[in-house]
Structure 1
Amino acid sequence: MLVRTYPNAVTPIPVGKVMAGTSLENAETMVAPTPLTPVNGTASGSSRTSGSSLRAAARGMIALVEGSTPHMSGETRSLLRHRLRLVAAIFFGAFAAWLVRGLLIKGPEESFWLLGWHASVTLVMGLMVVVLTQLKSPSLPKLRLFELIVFGDPAVYFVILSQHSLHSAANLSDGAHLPIVVVPWMILIFTYALFIPNTWRRALPIVALMGVAPLAVVLFQRQMCPAFQSCVAGGEYRDFFTGQAMEMLLAVVIAVAGVHTINTLRREAFAAKQLGQYRLKKRLGAGGMGEVYLAEHQTMKRPCAIKIIRPEKAGDPMILARFEREVRSTAKLSHWNSIDIFDYGSAADGTFYYVMEYLPGHNVGELVNDYGPLPPARVAYLMDQVCKALIEAHGIGLVHRDIKPANIFCAYRGGEFDVAKLLDFGLAKPMTEAADVALTQEGSITGSPLFMSPEQATGEREADARSDIYSLGCVMYYLLTGQPPFAYKQSVKVIIAHATEEPLPPRELLPELPEAFEDLVLRCLEKDPEDRYQDARSLSRALQHLPLADVWTSEMAADWWTCHGCPERKALAAAAIEAAAV
C-alpha cells in the first residue's frame, strides 16, 4: 500500500489539492523538488572513481539532509553567511565614517600610522562584504574563518587604539584624565552576541577574550609606561582599573546570556518547522496555493519532499477537495515512472500536507534551459518512460491534464540516471467521474496554456487520454527545438493557436531531426483527437521503433551526468559507470 503513516505521526485525514493556474510559465504548480545545488557548468570528460569516491558520493547525497540540529544545518550556514555579511557592511560603514572624520578633523593625538591601521580595517571589511556576497554555499570551516576575520581584524585595531589612547593621554602635559577604553570593545561584544548564531558555550570564550583585551592593554601600560604610572599613582589606578573591569564583566555576562536566549528562540523556531515526524529542511518551490519542502523523517532519516497548502488557503473547502484528489490520484499509481506518495495528514495548526519521494535531478524544462534542446535519442528515451507511466494512469481511467516540462522529472533513482518521473497529478481527473467537474470550473481553463490540448483550450469536449497525448507532443516539440509549438507571449493567443493554427514543422527548426520523428510529433499535435495516437501504448511503440542514428541508454545518461551538473551528480554518475564496467 503506497499511502501509509509512521509511528507517532499525526493522524491522516482527508486533505485537499492545489490547482494549477493558467500563466505561461512552466513551473506554475511545483510538486517536484528542484535540485538543492544549481548546475555549475560543464566539466571536461568523464572520470573514473575508486570505492572511496563512491562513499564520497553517498556522503554527498546524505548531505542533502544533513544536520538534525540548527547548528550544523544548511539553514544555519546560510544564516551565518548573511549575518557576517551584514556585520561586515555595518563595520565598513562605521569605520569609513570615522576615517573621514579623522582625515577632516585630525586632533593632536592622532597619527598617520593609526589612520593607516584604520584604513586597512575599513578595506578588509569592504572586501569581506564582496566575498560573502559572491560565495553562495561556503562550508562551515570557511565561514568560521570569515567570522575570525570580521571580528578579529577590528579587535586588533581596538588593541592598538586603546594602547595609543592611554599612552597619549598619560603623556599630556596638563595631566588630563585617562580615557575610558572599553566602549569600542562593548560594541564589538554586543555585535557578536546579537548577530552571530551560536551556543553560549562557544560564545563564552570568544566574548571573554574580547572582555579581557582592554584590561590587558591597561595592565601593559601600567608595567611599561612611566607616564601612565605617574598618572595612576596611589588609589587612582585601582579605581580606574576596577571600574572598567566591572563594566567589561557585566558586558560579557549580558552578552553570553543574550546568546543563550537567542539560541533558545532559534531552536524553538526550528522545532516549529516540523510536520509530525518530518523535519522541514529547505523550501524547494511554490505554486499558486502550495509549497514544497525538502524534509527528513526523524526516525528513518530518509529525505523526502513535502507539499503543503498555504495556511491562508487551508480554509477553502474547494482547495482542500482538490488537494485530496491529488493525493488519492497519485496514490493509486505504482509504476516506476510515477512519483511515490508516502504519507499525508494535517498538523496541529491546520496545515495540510502530503509526503512524496525526493527526486535528485532536474525537470526536463530545466535541462533545455541550461543546455539547450536535447538529442532526439534522449527525447525518445525519456518520453517512452512517460508513456509507460501514462499507460498505467489511463488504464485506471485517470487523465493527467497538465503534462508539461516542469512536471516531467529527469531523476537519479535505483542506481540509474535519466529515470523519467511523471509528477503533479493535481489536475488529474477520472474520465468517468462527472461529480468532480465542479472542482475544475472556477472561470479558468485547467492546464498550462503552452502545452494544453485543443479540447482543453476550447472546453467543447471532455479531455481524455488523447488529450495527454497532445500535451506530450507539445513537450517533445519543446525538448527537440527549444521552443513550444506556439510561442506567443499572451495566454489568449496561445490558447486560440492550439485550437486553430498548425504548428511549424519541427524539421524547419531542427533540420537534422529524422523525418519519422517529426511525423510522430505532428501526429500527436493533430487538432482532432481521432487523428492522434489513440493511447499511450501506441505512442510508446512508435517511439521505440523510430529509425534514429543514435541510441540513448542509462549508461550514456550516467556518462552525460559526469560531465554536467552539480558535484554530487557527477560523483554518483562516475561511480555508476565504474560499477557497470566491473
Structure 2
Amino acid sequence: MPEIYEPTVIRTSRPEPHDATVARPQPSATDETLVPGAQPPAPVASSGSAGFAEEVRLLLRRRLFMTHLALGLATGAMALCDLTGLVALPVEAGLGRWAAGLPLIAFGQSVAGLVFLLRYPEAPLKTLRLIEVSQFAIIGFGGGVARFIVMESGAAPSPDPRYSELLYRFDALMTTFPGVFSIILYGVFIPNTRRRSLFGASLLCLAPVAATTLAAATNPAVRPALPAIVPISLVPLCMACVVAVFCAGRAYELRQQVYEAKREAQQLGAYTLKQKLGEGGMGEVWLAEHRLLKRPCAVKFIRAELAAEPATAARFEREVRAVTSLTHFNTVRIFDYGRSDDGSFYYVMEYLDGPTLDRLVKERGPLTPGRAVYLLRQFCGALAEAHAAGMVHRDLKPGNMMLVALGGQRDVAKLLDFGLVQDHSATESSDRITRAGTVLGTPSYMCPEQAAGEPVDPRGDVYSLGVVAFFALAGRPPFEGSSVGKLLTAHLTQPAPDVSALRAGVPADLAAVVARCLAKDPKERFQSVLELEAALAACTCSMDWSAAHADQWWAAPTAAPAALANDATETIIRS
C-alpha cells in the first residue's frame, strides 16, 4: 500500500509575494495537490476520507444533542425542585448549597450546547469536539466537587470508633458511581478512536482522584480511610475505562468497515471505485475503473477542509489544468477532475504499476551509472516540456518518480506530483500557482533559493534533479540531517560532496555533471534541462543501459523480490 504523508509548512521570516518555504519531515514521501474546477461538475457520490469524517461529524452532533438534552432535563429538574422547596438531593448527602449549584452549572452548559447545536447544524468536527470536551469536563468537575464536599466535611460524633472510617468509605463508593457512569457513557456513546477515548476516560478518572487527594489534605479524618478508599474508587473506575476504550475502538472500526464496504460499490461519475490504495492526512488514493472504457485509473481525493477557501480552490483548479496541458510520454497523464458532494476534490489519472525510484534504490541499492543516466534523460524530457510551458515543478525527488512498464518497454520513467508546480507564464500575480509567503517542497531535495524563500525558476529543478541523481548513484542524498532546519542550512551553505568519492565506479564526467547541477549559484548550473540532457548524453556511460538491458534486468529472478513485486506498486499521486 502506498505510504501517504502530510506536509509540514514552514513560514518564512520575510514572505515573498510569489514564494515561500516549506518542507516535509520525511524526504521520501511525495505530495501532490489536486483539485476542483471553478465551475464544479455535478455532485457525485461522497468519497475520500472527508466522507467518513462527515459521517463521524453527523453522528457526533446527534449524540451530543442527545446527551445535552438528557443532562439538561435531569439537571433542570433538580434545580427546579431545589428552587421550589422540593428536595432533589437529601440533606444527608452533605452537599449544602452545592446541591442546587452543581445542577445549575450543568444545566447552563447543556442549554448553551443545545442552542449552539440547533443554531449551527453545519458546525465543523473540531468545533463539535470542543463542545464534547466542555460537556464532559462539566460532568467530571461536578462529580469531583461533590466528592470533595462530602469527604471534606467532618463526620458526626459517634461512640463507634469505626463510624468515621466507614462513613468516608461509603461516601467514596457512592461518589464513584457517577464517574463510572460518565466514563462508560463517553466510551460507548461518543464516536471516538481508541486513543482519544483512552485520553478522555483517563481525564474523567482524575476528577475523583484529585477530589480525594484534596479532601485528605484538608480533612485529617479522611486519611485513615485512604487504604480502603483507594481500591474502592480505582477498581470500578479502571474497569469503566477498559469498557469505554474497548467499546469506542471497536465501534469506530466497525463504522470504518461499513463505510469502506459502501464506498467499494460506489460510483464516482463515470468511474467505479474498486480498491483503496492508500490514505493519509491529506486524503486517499483509490484504484478505479472507467465504466464504459473499462480502463483502470487512479483517483485521488483531497479533504474538503484543505481546499475550503475559494482562493485555494482556484489554485487547485489551475494546477490541474496546467498539468493536463502536458503531453510528454514521461509525465503522468491526468484524465479528469471534479468535486464530490461532501466537498472533497478529486482527480483521475493513469494508473501506474511499478516502484518509485526511492523504493527501488532502497530495496536494491544504488543504480549503475548507465541506468541512472538512462532514467535521468527521460526525466529531463518531461521537465523540458513543463519548463517550456512556463511551469516549474519545485518538488522533484525519488518518491515522485516511478519506473513502470508501458508499451511493452521496461524502465519507463514517469514524473509525478505536479501539485507544487509554479506557473511562471501567468500574467497576473493572482494567477500564479502558489501561495503568498509559502513554498512547498521536500528539504532533502530542495534547491538553495527555494530553501531561502526566494522565487524558483527552471534552474531550481536542475538542482533538485542533481540531488536525485546523487541519490540514485550513492544511495542517499548529498545532505542528511536530523531536522528540517539543518537540511535547509546545508543546501544554503555547505558544498555538496563528490558522488564519486562516496561510490567507486561513478565516471568522472558523470560526477562532474552532478556537481554542476548542485552548484549553489543558479548561474553556475546548467541553464536548462535540455542542456543537462545533452551533458548526460555525452557521458561515456550513457550507452551502457538501454531498453534491452532493462528487459533483461527485470526478467532476472533477483530483479523482483517480494518487496518490489508485491508491495512496491505505487499510485502516481500521494498525499
Question: Is residue 401–residue 447 contact of structure 1 (8 Å, CA) maintained in 2?
Answer: yes
Counterpart for residue 452 of structure 2: 458
User: Quick check: 1:558 aligned with 2:560?
Assistant: no
Give the residue type in structure 1 aligned to 2:269.
G
Question: Is residue 278–residue 284 contact of structure 2 (8 Å, CA) maintained in 1?
Answer: yes
Separation in 2, partners of 1:369, 1:549 = 23
C-alpha distance after superposition, 1:90-124 (max 9, x if no partner): xxxxxxxxxxxxxxxxxxxxxxxxxxxxxxxxxxx
C-alpha distance after superposition, 1:49-89 (max 9, x if no partner): xxxxxxxxxxxxxxxxxxxxxxxxxxxxxxxxxxxxxxxxx
Deviation at 1:290, TM superposition (A): 3.2
Change (3 A) 1:332 1:550: closer
Counterpart for residue 447 of structure 1: 441
Of 388, 398, 421, the residue aligned with 1:395 is 388
Change (3 A) 1:441 1:351: closer
Deviation at 1:313, TM superposition (A): 2.9
Give the residue type in structure 2 aligned to 1:25.
P
Counterpart for residue 500 of structure 1: 493
Give the residue type in structure 2 aligned to 1:328.
R
Of 386, 394, 411, the residue aligned with 2:404 is 411
Counterpart for residue 275 of structure 1: 268
Q: Which moved more, 1:347-356 or 1:527-536?
A: 347-356
Deviation at 1:401, TM superposition (A): 0.8
Separation in 2, partners of 1:279, 1:496 = 47
Change (3 A) 1:330 1:549: closer
Counterpart for residue 50 of structure 2: none
Question: Is residue 520–residue 542 contact of structure 1 (8 Å, CA) maintained in 2?
Answer: yes
Report how many residues are paired. Answer: 322
C-alpha distance after superposition, 1:148-182 (max 9, x if no partner): xxxxxxxxxxxxxxxxxxxxxxxxxxxxxxxxxxx
Matches within 5 A, 1:109-124: none
Separation in 1, partners of 2:536, 2:471 = 16
User: Quick check: 1:512 aligned with 2:501?
Assistant: no
Deviation at 1:320, TM superposition (A): 2.1
Of 18, 22, 25, the residue aligned with 2:24 is 22
Separation in 2, partners of 1:346, 1:544 = 43
Question: Is residue 407–residue 422 contact of structure 1 (8 Å, CA) maintained in 2?
Answer: yes
Give the residue type in structure 2 aligned to 1:27.
A
Matches within 5 A, 1:156-305: 269-270=262-263, 273-286=266-279, 288-305=281-298
For the residue of structure 2 that corresponds to 1:361, the secondary structure is: coil
Separation in 2, partners of 1:299, 1:551 = 43
Question: Is residue 393–residue 418 contact of structure 2 (8 Å, CA) maintained in 1?
Answer: yes
Deviation at 1:273, TM superposition (A): 3.7
Matches within 5 A, 1:319-468: 319-433=312-426, 435-436=429-430, 440-441=434-435, 444-460=438-454, 462-468=455-461
C-alpha distance after superposition, 1:506-537 (max 9, x if no partner): 11111211000100000000011110000011
Deviation at 1:503, TM superposition (A): 1.2
Change (3 A) 1:288 1:531: farther
Separation in 2, partners of 1:453, 1:437 = 24
C-alpha distance after superposition, 1:526-569 (max 9, x if no partner): 01111000001111111111012861111211221122226999
Separation in 2, partners of 1:489, 1:551 = 37
Separation in 2, partners of 1:425, 1:405 = 14
Counterpart for residue 520 of structure 2: 527
Deviation at 1:285, TM superposition (A): 3.1
Separation in 1, partners of 2:531, 2:315 = 31
Separation in 2, partners of 1:386, 1:542 = 14
Deviation at 1:272, TM superposition (A): 5.6
TM-score normalised by length of structure 2: 0.52
Separation in 2, partners of 1:413, 1:425 = 21
Give the residue type in structure 2 aligned to 1:458.
A
For the residue of structure 1 that corresponds to 2:361, the secondary structure is: helix
Question: Is residue 362–residue 410 contact of structure 1 (8 Å, CA) maintained in 2?
Answer: yes
Question: Is residue 28–residue 288 contact of structure 1 (8 Å, CA) maintained in 2?
Answer: no
Deviation at 1:323, TM superposition (A): 2.3
Give the residue type in structure 2 aligned to 1:565.
A
Separation in 2, partners of 1:305, 1:331 = 15
Q: Unaligned regions of 5+ residues in structure 2, if any?
A: 1-20, 35-254, 567-575
Separation in 2, partners of 1:267, 1:447 = 32
Separation in 2, partners of 1:400, 1:266 = 36
For the residue of structure 2 that corresponds to 1:26, the secondary structure is: coil
Question: Is residue 379–residue 476 contact of structure 1 (8 Å, CA) maintained in 2?
Answer: yes
Give the residue type in structure 2 aligned to 1:24.
Q
Change (3 A) 1:333 1:439: closer
User: Quick check: 1:544 aligned with 2:537?
Assistant: yes
Identical-residue share of aligned pairs (%): 44
Separation in 2, partners of 1:492, 1:283 = 35
Question: Is residue 416–residue 558 contact of structure 1 (8 Å, CA) maintained in 2?
Answer: yes
Separation in 1, partners of 2:301, 2:32 = 11
**Cα RMSD after superposing both structures:** 2.9
Question: Is residue 374–residue 479 contact of structure 1 (8 Å, CA) maintained in 2?
Answer: yes
Give the residue type in structure 2 aligned to 1:454.
P
Change (3 A) 1:318 1:369: farther
Separation in 2, partners of 1:546, 1:324 = 40
